[in-house]
Amino acid sequence: MKRIHLILLISLLLFSCAKDGELDRTIFIPEDDDSYLPAYTEWGYNSFGAEYERDYFLVSNKIMPCKIMYHNNQLQFSLHGILKKDHTNMVMLFTFPFTQMVAYKDLVQLNSVKIDLAANDCVVKILQDSSEMTLNVLDGELYFKRTQLLSIDDIENRVILSGTFDLRFLQNGFPSTISDGRFDLGITKNLFYAY
C-alpha cells in the first residue's frame, strides 16, 4: 500500500511539472486484484482496460487510446487498444445521442452521465483487423463517473474523462461479455472532433 501511495505522489509531482507531451503518455498502474487491468484512477493517465471473455482489451503505448467525435447530435467515444493474447489491434466505438458539443471543453457535460448501452439509440461496435461488428447488446452501461477540466498555468489544457463500462452481447449467436472496464483519459482539442 505504501508503494502505491509513493507512486501516486511521484506521479502528482511529475504531472504538475510536466510538459504537454508528457501529459499525453500512458501510465499503467496495475489493479491490486487483477494486475492485467489498470487501476481505476481519475488523474488523466491515458489508460483503459477491460476483460473480454478470457482475454483483455488494453491500452497500448503505440496507439492513441481515445478519440471523440460529435456529429449530427451523436457522440462517438472510441477506445483504441490491443487484445492481450495476440496483440491484435482493436477499437471499441460507443455512439449515443448527446447535447450539442462544439469544443473539447464541452466534454465536462458528461460528468456523472450513465449511458444504457442496450438502448435503441445507442450503438456499440468492435473493429478488429479489417472487420467491423455491430454488437447486439443485451445489457450494459458506459458510465462517465467524473470529468474535469485541467488547467496548467491558468490555461485550459484538457478534459480528463474517468469512468467504467461493461456489456453483455451476442456475438455470432453466442453470448459474450466485456466486463470490469475502466478508463482514465486526457482529451485535448487534437482528440475531439465536431462537425
pLDDT score of 173: 87
pLDDT score of 130: 84
pLDDT score of 20: 54
pLDDT in tens, the chain (195 residues): 445 543 443 454 444 444 556 788 999 999 999 999 999 999 999 999 999 999 999 999 999 999 999 999 999 999 999 999 999 999 999 999 999 999 999 999 999 999 999 999 999 999 998 899 999 999 999 999 999 999 999 999 999 999 999 999 998 889 999 999 999 999 999 999 999
Cell triple for 38: 489498470
CA distances from 86 to 64, 79, 90, 127, 131 (A): 19, 18, 11, 15, 17
pLDDT score of 6: 39
CA dist., res. 99 & res. 109, Å (int) = 8
If you write DSSP's letter for every residue of 82-131 in order, what string do you get? Answer: EETTT--EEEEEEEEE-S---SGGGGGGGTTEEEETTSTT-EEEEEETTE
Which residues lie across from 111 on neighbouring strands?
A: none
pLDDT score of 56: 98
Find out whether 150 and 116 touch, Cβ atoms under 8 Å: no
The H or E element spanning position 71 is: strand 66-71
60 burial type by CB count under 10 A (0-12 exposed, 13-18 middle, 19+ buried): middle
Number of separate domains in the chain: 1
CA distances from 79 to 33, 65, 68, 159 (A): 23, 6, 9, 16
The H or E element spanning position 81 is: strand 74-83
pLDDT score of 8: 44
